[in-house]
Structures are given as C-alpha cells and as structure tokens.
Amino acid sequence: MKDPHQLGRCPFVPLLYWFVVVFFTVILGFAAPASASTLPTRIWDIPAVESDAYTTQVLLPDWGQITFKNLPAASSNGTIENLGRSWKAGQTPDQFLQLGDISSVLNAQILSVGAIEQLPLESINLDSIALSSFPLAGEQIVSHLSEIVPNLGQFKLGDVAPLSSLASQILGNAEIPDLGSIFELPIAQVISQFPAFAKARLNSVDLEQFAFTEIPNLESVSLEKFTLWQEQPLTTIPNLNSVPLSSFPKPVAEAGNLVMRIDMIYTAAEGKRHNTVSGSDVEGFAVDCETDCAYIELDNLENTGRKVRAALEGKQWISGRYQQVQGGHGCLAGVNGGKEPTGRHPFGSLFKLVVEEPDETTDAVNTALYFRFSNLCGHTPYFVGPIPFFSYRINSPIFLGALHEDPIPSLQSVSEPTEAKRNPGSTPAAVNCEPTSANEQVLPATYMEGVDVALLGRAIAALESAGNAGYQTVGAYVCADGDSHCGVALGKYQLMSYRDDVRQSIRSVPGGVELLVRIDRGYQPTQAEVFQYFPPVAQNNVFQNALARDVVATRQQIDPTTDQPFTGTRLVERVAQKHFGGAASKADASYSDIHNSYSLKSYGERVRQLYNSRRGAFLSADSSGNNFASGTCIPTSGSSDQSSTGDVSSIPAASPNSILGLSELVLKVFLSLSLVKVPSCLGCKFRKLKYSVLLGLSVGVTAAFSLFVF
C-alpha cells in the first residue's frame, strides 16, 4: 500500500506543479527581445489590434544619441590599394570614413564648423582649440581663403595673426622697402600685390600656435567650399564625429514601417531559397539563394495575439556571411569584385544591415553594418566593416523598413504629434510650441547664415500640416504658373508633386513613375500611397535640402524694405514665403493660396512668429525691430522621450526584459517554497491547500519584490 502522503494520490498537485513549470518556461522563451551591446536604443510600442493582446515592443537604434564616434568598432581589417583606403579592426567608423563618403547621404558638407559647434552637444569651444585642429583650413591657399571666408579680404593683414605670420615668412626675403607697411593693408590688396603670398598654403606656418578663432569668420564657411573637402577624415573636422546621426541635414531615420517576427533560424546547410527579402540596391531585395543559404525565416506578428496578416509568411533574410550580391555604382562599382554581403537598408543608404551567422544551437543571430567608400564618380559596394549591431533570438521582432506589402502601424502614425488644426480662411490663434508626443522625431538643429534651419522647418510644418495626418497629408489638386505646373501638396511639409526634387524622390520607388502620371492627370493619392512612395525620411530629406538652399540663396538677395541683403528675421520670413509661393514669388506679395488663409506676406510673418516663440529669442539681431508676444503659442511642458535608453539593459519596467525577469522570479519562488514540508498534512485535501497557499505566497512575494525593485 502506497504512502497516503505520496503525490500520486493527489493528481491536483502534480498538475498544478507542471502547469506552473510549463507556463513559465513558455513565457521565458517567448518574444525574446533584441540586444544591442552598448548602442543607445529606444523602444517603439506597436499597439495590439486585439483589445486583449499585448503591445509589441520593438528595439530600435536611438539615432538621436548614436554618432560616428560611439558606433561599435570594426571587427576585421580591409584595404583598397588602388584608392589608398583601409580600415582596421578596433577602429570606429569616424576613424576610417571621409567626408566624401557621407556627403551624398547625410549632406554633411553644407555644415560649417560654427554650425556644428551650436548643436546641443558636449562640444568643444572654438576659442580653446588650435587652428591646427582643422587641417582642412591649413590645406587652403591664401587667395582661396579670402574668397570663401566672409569679409576676410577687408581685414588688415596685421589684424589676422596666422596670415601676418605667413606673410612675414613668405615675403621676409623679398626686396620690399618697407615690409612693415604691408601689415596695415587690407588682406585683399596684399594678395593682389604679392602672388607668392596669394599662392602660399596656410599650413606653411605652425598653426598650433594660433587659436581657431584668430581667422575671423572661418567657422561660418560651409565645408564644401574648402578645396579637397571630400578627402578629409571625419576626425579632422572639429566635433563632426560627435554629431548625432539624426541631426545631419539629411538625418538617419527609419526608412519604412515594417516589423516582422523571427520565426526560425537556419544554418548554411540549407539551399534553394527563393522567397527572400534580402539583396542590394543594384539587384533588388528579393535575390534568390541556391547554396549555403543560412538565413532567418520571418513571420507576421499574429503569433503574439494579432490577426493583422500580410503576404509575408515565411520570408527569408539570407545571411550576408554566405551570400554575396552585386553592389556599387559608377567608377567604383568594380571594387571588391563588385560584390557585397546580401542585406537590407532599413535605415537609409548610409550603411547596409546584414544578417551574420545564424546559430541553430542557441536560436540566436547577430547582425552587422557595412559602409561604403565614395568619390566624385561613384560608390564602392557596401563591404567596409563589419560593425557589430543588434543580436536577436527566435520570436524577436525585427525592423525591416520598407516593403511593398500590406502595411502595419507605422512609426509616424503611432507617434504623430497633436497640433492645432489649421482652419482655411482664418489665422490659427494658437499652435503648440513644443511637440506633445514624446516620440516625435527631432529634426537636426543646423545653423546656416544665422538661421536655425531645423527650427524654421518645424515652424513651417506647424502651419502646413497642423491637425492633419502629418507625413501622410494630401492637399487639394491645384495649378500654378499659368497652369504649366499642376499637382497636389504632399506630406508634412505640403511639398508640391510637380517639384523636381519631389518627383525625383518618388520616381526612385518602384511604381513611383506610374503614380506621378496619375497625379499629373488629376488623381489624388491616398494616405497609404503617400507613405509608400514618399515616406517620412524622403520628405525630411527633400524639405531640409530645399530649405538649406533657400537660406543660402536668399541671404545673397536684397531685401526691398532695407535695400540690404536679407538677414535676421527678415531672412526667415522670405525663406518661408518662398516655400509658400515658390522661389520666383514676389517678396511680401499680398496674393494668397486657394484657401485664402494666408497672403504671401502674412504667411512669412506667421512662420517668423512661430520660429521666434519656439526658439525663445533669435540669435541674430532682429533687423525689423519688431517684438512679438509669445501669446500666439501655447507651450506644453517639455519632456524627454521616456522610451529612450542608454542601452538595452535599461529598458523600462514594462518592457519584455522586466516581464521575463519577473516570470523567472515567480518560478524560482514557487519551486523553492514547494520544497517546504507541512508535517501536519493529513490527506489530499490539505495538500491541495498547501500548494494553493504556496502558489499564492510565491506570487505575493514576487509582487512585493517587484514593487521594491521596479
């Protein structure tokens, strides 16, 4: 006869025991989050479609904190002998990339050293660094410096210490009757009278002895105006390697909105995989794999409680460690045999994201970034790296970017800021001064000609898309210039579809040409089509580039109210007018748009008010002398992005990591308490009570512990 105290007499107990074990085992192995070593990250919450389902939390890079300097170091060496370029294991990207490598993608060359200094960084003070810390300036000859540095030629030679020292060295042996007298001459005159001085390079003297600011206005020169700017390593431009990648004129951002779940992981033993989402910008992103097809298999998110399904079941992202695809453009397309690892561009074309080595034994996979080198005639394939990136496990959500498939909720639609609605026929009484959404994308704070271009862009966007769908806004079909240009206003900045830069961007997307033909004939695209063919990152790029060009061009034009070049808030007004009415529009004109909501003049004034109120005070003197009350803005309390983290280890308490930790703790407490003996247990009824009490105690202890810790 069996002992009545044995568990076999009470089926309730082992059932309860195994239920708890299995339940928490499943929880601990489900929806494993990604990890990112020390990369700054943020969490994107994808809301559940079903009311009783959980929110999916996707780990994304925090481009507002990631710089070329704090990206992980390369893990291998490489050399391109014909180009004289190389990279070494242990080097961060700023140590092997040059300014020309990032110019077409980030437009970094339009920045000046002064603009970089004014960014909200832990930056260096230009007064405290030597002129030698900017070797690009030292490479210039004096005559060219005089051409690109504003008003430099008007300064007396003796007032600019580096140039007066250079003149003494170059002209000291010349037969000049009174050498000292030339230091009283304007630099432009000395250049014209003494060709040897004009052709001398600035670094012919020791620049270590001079402060950066001893050449007046040097900090205001755009990098692209210097000779040989393309060949400058990023580390040689003061503080450029500390600029967040989201703060460049063309910011790095999520290019698309698709998130999928890693369903399975396979090694190189697989072959003949023809349902891929990987490839290159040359071959496309559905390149077949025939042999050695290590890959991750992707699925929709329905396994985490969703019924949202698209035609993406079983898609395969092939490992770039095993499959090479065609890459590169122009004269450099043949470098590395014209090959690069297969992968995707979910964050734009600065780098390529590649799946590395899938490991079936651990159900884990690492990813890496690969850069490319560029010059004036082309780009190499993306094979410069690898730079370690995120690691994933089975059931991790992974960001894919843009796919021409059924969309799921997008980054922008999830975090769209709330703004006052623009009412046609009247000027809005108030617009929020600050974004009300913690997740709103922060545009780059780039100063050009004394104007914060990013802030100006936000002021314009507040008028153009207030109350609408932001990046997915579609305006009315209109014609301009005697009906020679017809189209619709698209996106957050209401950019007209007939603009060359907008059309070029849309054409670059498969199907974009056909969409433009339909729009030209009067078709009004849907919000989904705007998001697909003119996504947020493209809108930001087009708008920021156009705004920067307008600021530079307008600064050279004459303000009819002062007969002087546009400057200060008048420059802000006129640039806004050009956005509203076109570059050829008449300054301060009284004509308005089809809604009669603003005239050209009142539009510029309204943008100027928003610009000033958002910024607090304009850096340059207000040439108009006007003082505008801040009552036109309703400020909201500023707050940082609560989802932003220093690294993956600091995910908020509601994140998958803390849920997993809590689950593990419950399991451990239950198993520990289950070993406690109750000597007076006189039957199955009491043992049922015992294990029920133990389970309750374990949950209670865990809850109390979580309140204390979390």
pLDDT digits (tens, 9 = 90+) for 21-35: 444 434 434 445 565
Residue 297's DSSP bridge partners are 264, 316
21 vs 665, higher pLDDT? 665
The residue type of 14 is: P
Q: How far apart are the first and last CA of the chain?
A: 50
pLDDT score for 239: 92
The residue-averaged pLDDT of 332-342 equals 96
Q: Which helix or strand (DSSP H or E) is residue 209 part of?
A: none
**pLDDT grade for 475, boundaries at 50, 70 and 90:** confident
pLDDT score for 599: 86
The residue type of 470 is: G
Helix 600-615 crosses helix 568-581 at what angle (to 10 degrees)? 130
Phi, psi (5° rounding) for residue 635?
-70, 145
> With contact defined as beta carbons under 8 Å apart, do 615 and 455 qualify?
yes
| Tokens encoding 407 | 């969309």
The residue type of 696 is: G
Q: Express each pLDDT in 452-474 by its tens digit.
A: 887 888 888 777 755 444 677 88
Query: In 521-599, which residue ranges form alpha helices assigned H by DSSP?
Result: 527-533, 536-555, 568-581
The residue-averaged pLDDT of 97-111 equals 94
> With contact defined as beta carbons under 8 Å apart, do 191 and 197 qualify?
yes
Helix 536-555 crosses helix 568-581 at what angle (to 10 degrees)? 130
Q: At a CB cut-off of 8 Å and minimum separation 6, what does 242 contact?
A: 67, 69, 121, 122, 123
**pLDDT grade for 447, boundaries at 50, 70 and 90:** low
Q: At a CB cut-off of 8 Å and minimum separation 6, what does 535 contact?
A: 255, 256, 257, 402, 471
**pLDDT grade for 654, boundaries at 50, 70 and 90:** very low
**pLDDT grade for 678, boundaries at 50, 70 and 90:** very low
Q: Express each pLDDT in 199-253 by its tens digit.
A: 999 999 999 999 999 999 999 999 999 999 999 999 999 999 999 999 898 899 9
Q: Express each pLDDT in 169-200 by its tens digit.
A: 988 766 566 777 889 999 999 999 999 999 99
SS (H, E, C) 136-192: HHHCCEHHHHHHHCCCHHHCEHHHCHHHHHHHHHHHCCCCCCCHHHHHHCEHHHHHH
579 pLDDT higher than 80: yes
> With contact defined as beta carbons under 8 Å apart, do 351 and 371 qualify?
yes
The residue-averaged pLDDT of 276-295 equals 93
Q: Express each pLDDT in 360-396 by its tens digit.
A: 888 899 999 999 999 988 999 999 999 999 999 998 9
Q: What is the mean pLDDT of the chain?
A: 76
Residue 329's DSSP bridge partners are 379
**pLDDT grade for 633, boundaries at 50, 70 and 90:** very low
Tell me the whole-structure pTM to 2 decimals.
0.58
Phi, psi (5° rounding) for residue 487?
175, -165
- b/e string for 407-423 if b means 16 or more Cβ within 10 A? bbbbbbbebbbebbebe
CA 348-350-353 angle, to 5 degrees, is 70
Whole-angstrom distance, CA of residue 652 vs CA of residue 42? 10
| Interstrand relation of 633-634 and 431-432 (parallel, antiparallel or unpaired) | parallel
Helix 536-555 crosses helix 453-464 at what angle (to 10 degrees)? 120
51 pLDDT higher than 70: no
